[in-house]
């Protein structure tokens, strides 16, 4: 029987958009409970935290990160992924004791396949981003830190100011994937940031990249779809599965997105149901995740108006003020 690995990204993606006025509803204790329940339901991987400036994501202030990470403790039954956008974020990751000698989190690094989006998202060029990540990984790999990488807008980016859809050079995307694997990254996830690709375009992009890769690292490549329609995202995931992809990201209720124009994610409960009923093993309790998604919808999603208007000139503190991510995957 085929098996897939589903990473739930709810706490990280939804959390990045929770305004400071509603942090009492998204308290660390609630996030710890949800993370624990997700692991109890069988999720092998989940994104929980981001080491970014609280001016960008108030819910990710260091006090909250420390409490959540400490109370969850060292987790060996699942990979807890914490995003790191730059050197300052990496310093926070180490200071919080998230490496393998401490709480054993996986470090997530990310950049965009489209230059215009990378500048909006990370405040610098793709070349500058990769150069910075190279220095981070050269330090992290010898420490035996697990590293996951994400390539945003791998299926294209619609510039909100110019109104044009920019497609990335897939040969460049393939080259970046090779670089990341060579630097010690364990997995690379390709993200359709804005949900710009339907089934045919999803197939074209993935077929092209997999052809260029000639079968290399297929089991280490993931798919992270956003889409205005959760059903369409699920159909795209089926396309990815049929092409050999076995790693997928999803969010409870399909919530998430970012301020550069990304719609929500594919719903975790829908993806689990879709795969389970197709005879594809997930290892996840379908009924349990459906119940959890409904409770999270009622207790959080319906009560918290997500922020969609964040400042553009923020940073990670001190001299790195200009190097913050203002949106994400």
pLDDT at 323: 33
Local structure of residue 105 (DSSP, 8 states): P
pLDDT at 255: 87
Closest CA to 271 of 255, 286, 291: 286
pLDDT at 260: 53
Which residues have C-beta within 8 Å of that of residue 63, sequence separation ≥ 6? none
Domains of the chain in start order, with CATH, are: 5-320 (3.20.20.70)
Instruction: State which residues of the chain have pLDDT below 70.
Output: 1, 257-263, 307-329
pLDDT at 261: 52
Are the beta carbons of 31 and 73 closer than 8 angstroms?
Answer: no
Which residues have C-beta within 8 Å of that of residue 169, sequence separation ≥ 6? none
Q: Is 279 left (phi over 0), alpha (psi -120 to 50) or beta?
A: left
pLDDT at 162: 84
Are the beta carbons of 111 and 129 closer than 8 angstroms?
Answer: yes
Q: Which residues pair with 262 in a beta bridge?
A: 258
| pTM for the predicted model, two decimal places | 0.92
Are the beta carbons of 195 and 223 closer than 8 angstroms?
Answer: no
């Amino acid at each position: 029987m085929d098996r897939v690995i589903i990473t739930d990204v709810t706490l990280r993606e939804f959390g990045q958009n929770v305004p400071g006025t509603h942090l009492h509803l998204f308290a660390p204790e609630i996030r710890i409970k949800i993370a624990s329940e997700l692991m109890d339901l069988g999720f092998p991987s989940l994104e929980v935290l981001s080491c970014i400036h609280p001016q960008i994501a108030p819910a990710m202030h260091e006090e909250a990160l420390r409490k959540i990470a400490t109370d969850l403790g060292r987790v060996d039954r699942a990979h807890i992924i914490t995003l790191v956008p730059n050197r300052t974020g990496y310093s926070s990751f180490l200071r919080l004791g998230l490496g393998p000698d401490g709480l054993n989190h996986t470090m997530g690094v990310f950049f965009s396949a489209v230059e215009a989006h990378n500048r909006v998202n990370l405040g610098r060029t793709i070349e500058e981003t990769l150069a910075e990540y190279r220095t981070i990984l050269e330090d992290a790999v010898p420490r035996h830190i697990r590293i996951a990488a994400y390539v945003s807008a791998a299926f294209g980016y619609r510039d909100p100011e110019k109104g044009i859809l920019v497609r990335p050079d897939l040969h460049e995307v393939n080259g970046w994937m090779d670089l990341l694997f060579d630097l010690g990254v364990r997995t690379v996830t390709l993200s359709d940031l804005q949900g710009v690709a339907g089934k045919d375009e999803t197939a074209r992009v993935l077929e092209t990249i997999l052809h260029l890769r000639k079968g290399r690292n297929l089991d280490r490549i993931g798919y992270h779809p956003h889409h205005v329609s959760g059903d369409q995202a699920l159909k795209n995931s089926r396309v990815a599965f049929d092409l050999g992809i076995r790693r997928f990201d999803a969010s409870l209720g399909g919530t998430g997105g970012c301020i550069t124009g990304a719609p929500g994610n594919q719903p975790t409960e829908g993806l689990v149901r879709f795969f389970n009923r197709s005879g594809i093993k997930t290892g996840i309790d379908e009924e349990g995740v459906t119940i959890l998604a409904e409770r999270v919808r009622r207790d959080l999603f319906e009560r918290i108006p997500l922020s969609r208007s964040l400042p553009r000139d923020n940073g990670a503190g001190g001299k790195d003020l200009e190097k913050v991510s203002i949106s994400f995957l």
